[in-house]
Amino acid sequence: MAAFRFGRLRSLLLAMGAIFLISTFYLYWTPAPASMIPSTAFEVPLTERQIAFWKVLKPILEKNTPKCPPPTRRADAPAMHFNPNATDPRLDLILLKENDRKAMEEAHASYLQDIRDAKRLRPPHTTGTRGLVTTAGKSYLPLVVSSLRMLRRTGSTLPAEVYMKDASEYEKKICENVLPSLDARCLVLSEIVGKEPIAHYQLKAFAVLFSSFEEIIWMDADCFPLHKPEELFEVEPFKSNGLVTWPDFWASTASPAYFELSHQPIPPMSVRQSSETGIFMVSKKTNYITLLLAAYYNYYGPSHYFRLLSQGAPGEGDKETFLQAAAAVGEPFYAVSERVQALGHWKPDNQGLSGSAMAQADPREDYALTSQDKWRVRDPSVGKPPRVFFIHAHYPKFNPAENLFGSKWETAPTLKADGSEGRAWTAPEDVVSRFGYDAEKNYWEEIKWLSCDPKTEFRTWETKAQVCQQVESYWQHVFAEPHPDDPKFTDEA
19 vs 452, more confident? 452
What are the C-alpha distances in Å from 462 to residues 139, 177, 451, 453, 465? 12, 19, 12, 15, 9
Q: Parallel, antiparallel, or unpaired: how do β-strands 334-335 and 273-283 relate? A: unpaired
Q: Parallel, antiparallel, or unpaired: how do β-strands 273-283 and 215-219 relate? A: antiparallel
Q: Is the pLDDT of residue 336 over 50?
A: yes
**CB neighbours of 19 closer than 8 A, spacing ≥ 6?**
none
Q: Parallel, antiparallel, or unpaired: how do β-strands 72-73 and 341-346 relate? A: unpaired
Percent of the residues in the chain that have a pLDDT greater than 90, as a whole number: 77
> Which residue ranges form the domains of the chain, and what is each CATH number?
46-335 (3.90.550.10), 341-480 (no CATH)
Beta strands in 26-144 (DSSP E): 72-73, 94-95, 130-135
- The predicted-structure confidence for 412-448, as pLDDT tens digits, reads as follows 777 777 778 889 999 999 999 999 999 999 999 999 9
Of 201, 312, 299, 301, nearest in space to 253 by CA: 312
What are the C-alpha distances in Å from 156 to residues 40, 178, 247, 441? 25, 17, 24, 19
- The predicted-structure confidence for 147-180, as pLDDT tens digits, reads as follows 999 999 999 999 999 999 999 999 999 999 999 9
**pLDDT computed for residue 5 by the predictor:** 47
Of 366, 390, 341, nearest in space to 82 by CA: 341
pLDDT band at 19 (very low <50, low <70, confident <90, very high): very low
- The predicted-structure confidence for 192-244, as pLDDT tens digits, reads as follows 999 887 877 789 999 999 999 999 999 999 999 999 999 999 999 999 999 99
**pLDDT computed for residue 329 by the predictor:** 98
Q: Could you tell me the end-to-end alpha-carbon distance of the chain, in angstroms, rounded to an integer?
A: 91
**pLDDT computed for residue 11 by the predictor:** 54
**pLDDT computed for residue 420 by the predictor:** 81
- The predicted-structure confidence for 317-329, as pLDDT tens digits, reads as follows 999 999 999 999 9
Whether the Cβ atoms of residue 293 and residue 329 lie closer than 8 Å to each other: yes
- The predicted-structure confidence for 259-312, as pLDDT tens digits, reads as follows 999 999 999 999 999 999 999 999 999 999 999 999 999 999 999 999 999 999
Whether the Cβ atoms of residue 74 and residue 95 lie closer than 8 Å to each other: yes
**pLDDT computed for residue 58 by the predictor:** 97
Q: Which helix (H) or strand (E) holds 140?
A: none
Task: State the average pLDDT for the chain.
Answer: 89
Question: How far is it, in rounded angstroms, from Cα 95 to Cα 97?
Answer: 7
Question: How far is it, in rounded angstroms, from Cα 362 to Cα 431?
Answer: 13
Which pTM does this prediction carry?
0.89
- The predicted-structure confidence for 54-104, as pLDDT tens digits, reads as follows 999 999 999 999 999 999 999 999 999 999 999 999 999 999 999 999 999
Q: Is the pLDDT of residue 388 over 90?
A: yes
What are the C-alpha distances in Å from 305 to residues 71, 152, 267, 352, 493? 9, 37, 18, 35, 41
Whether the Cβ atoms of residue 273 and residue 252 lie closer than 8 Å to each other: yes
Question: How far is it, in rounded angstroms, from Cα 147 to Cα 279?
Answer: 12
Of 75, 134, 95, 76, nearest in space to 315 by CA: 76
Whether the Cβ atoms of residue 422 and residue 485 lie closer than 8 Å to each other: yes
Whether the Cβ atoms of residue 226 and residue 390 lie closer than 8 Å to each other: yes
**pLDDT computed for residue 44 by the predictor:** 85
